[in-house]
Structure 1
Amino acid sequence: MAGKPNKTHATDASVDAFIAELPSETMRDDSRALIRLMQELTGEAPRMWGPTIIGFGSYHYRYASGREGDAPLAGFSPRKPELVIYLMSEVLAPELMATLGKHRRGKVCLYVKRLDDVDLGVLTTLIRRSIALAEETYPQA
């Protein structure tokens, strides 16, 4: 596993062009809102990570298994059925998740059909905590 390269890297692809190609106006508007929020929280400009992830900033991780790579401090992917927001799993506390609104979750992914379905204050708290945890867990030189 340690030798398998990470497929997702920051690219020079245009974030604006990617957003413009999204199939629905709601997804484009929600993506622009998340870009503003994540840019404000990270102080970083948006960049494409692979063909479908919009990320902000980066950190280098190295797991005990030896696997390592780079990941965005904050990021999301506007997929056809829903927005996928990437968070450190430790921040997905039950008390916050209970007040977030309509969503589903995976190990490190939060799935939201529309931003109108969730409490943006709670989402902001989750993203802020995820950024802080990534910076604390993987301090950069």
Structure 2
Amino acid sequence: MSDLKTQPTEASVDAFLSAVEPAQRREDALAVCALMREVTGEAPVLWGPSIVGFGRYTYVNTTKKPADWPIIGFSPRKAALTLYIMPGFQAQADLLERLGPHTTSVSCLYIKRLDRIDMGALRALCQWSVAEMKRRYP
């Protein structure tokens, strides 16, 4: 359906996460995986070599072709744990203020240390994101 190079794979999410270094990033990734699994009720799927995604939606990309992407996901990158919050952050300034040390781009939330994050705010942000994506893409 999609020409995106990042596609869902059959690769083991557990094997991918168990190989993440350093240990702190691995522990953070495992915690975020458990949180997203609980929030979505979905099993994690490895998209491409490094994105753990939950659920799926189809959108029309800039080339006017349908493309699939996870409803929510994350990647334990070297510089930071990257969470994919697809609706963006404009409507959630209050949660971002409570969250703790982070940076954002359009749909990415970058967290260096999960132990410095308000997990209640992160859970609420993930819940809002999933609900919003399901509203936009029923």
Fold conserved between structures, TM > 0.5: yes
Q: What pairs with 1:40-59 in structure 2 (closer than 5 Å)?
A: 40-59=38-57
* 2:117 is the alignment partner of 1:133: no
Unmatched runs of 5 consecutive residues or more in structure 2: none
**Cα distance in 1 for residues equivalent to 2:122 and 2:90:** 11
Matched, 1:81 2:79: yes
Q: Is the 8 A contact 2:89 2:106 kept in 1?
A: no
**1:109 and 2:108 aligned:** yes
Q: Give ranges in structure 1 of 5+ residues lacking alignment.
A: none
Could you say if the C-alpha distance between residues 85 and 15 of structure 1 is closer, same or farther in structure 2, counting changes exceeding 3 Å?
A: same
The residue type equivalent to 1:107 in the other structure is V
Q: CA deviation at 1:38?
A: 0.5
Residue 13 (str. 1) matches residue 8 (str. 2): no
2:123 is aligned to 124
Give 1:117 deviation, angstroms.
1.7
Q: Secondary structure at the match of 1:9?
A: coil
Q: CA deviation at 1:90?
A: 4.7
Question: Could you tell which deviates more after superposition, 122-131 or 57-66?
Answer: 57-66
- TM-score for the superposition, normalised by structure 2: 0.91
Please give the alpha-carbon distance, in whole angstroms, between the structure 1 residues aligned to 2:68 and 2:22.
Answer: 30
Cα distance per residue 1:53-72 (max 9 Å; x no partner):
00111111125862421111
**Range with greater deviation from structure 2 (80-89 or 92-101):** 92-101
Matched-pair identity in %: 43
The one of 48, 67, 70 equivalent to 1:69 is: 67
| Separation of aligned partners in 2, 1:102 and 1:111 | 9
Task: Give, in whole Å, the separation in 2 of the partners of 1:53 and 1:22.
Answer: 12
Counterpart code for 2:93: P
Q: TM-score, normalised by structure 1?
A: 0.89
